[in-house]
Amino acid sequence: MPIFEYLCTDCAAVSEHLVFSDSEQIQCPQCGGTKVQKLLSATSSASGLKGEGRMPGAGDTGCCGSRPGAQGCVPGSCCGRA
């Protein structure tokens, strides 16, 4: 079940909605309006670079960042946790 971001064209509020089907009517939680536009959301992945204020990079792998060996990762685990 995908989560989509919508822009309300009545009040300009942006909100996220869990959408179960294409025929589902989306309603703005701010004003109750139904004139909404689906937005293109940026994707994100977990990274081992928490708190550094940067987005995960192309070489990042799971929660281990771009250097899994430096984080204690072992094959088949995430940051050394089995």
Model pTM?
0.50
Tokens matching residue 81: 């946790």
41-46's contacts with Cβ under 8 Å and 24+ in sequence apart are 41/4, 41/5
Q: Is 51 exposed, middle or buried (0-12, 13-18, 19+ CB in 10 A)?
A: exposed
Quick one: pLDDT at residue 80?
47
Q: What is the pLDDT of residues 9-59, one digit of tens each?
A: 999 999 999 988 888 899 999 999 999 999 987 665 554 445 555 555 555
Q: How many CA atoms lie within 13 A of 39 on its CB side?
A: 16
Question: Domain residue spans in the chain?
Answer: 3-38, 43-82
List, for residues 59-68, the tens digit of each pLDDT value. Answer: 555 555 555 5
Question: Alpha-carbon torsion 24, 28, 34, 35, what sign?
Answer: negative
Reported as a pLDDT band with limits 50, 70 and 90, residue 2 is confident
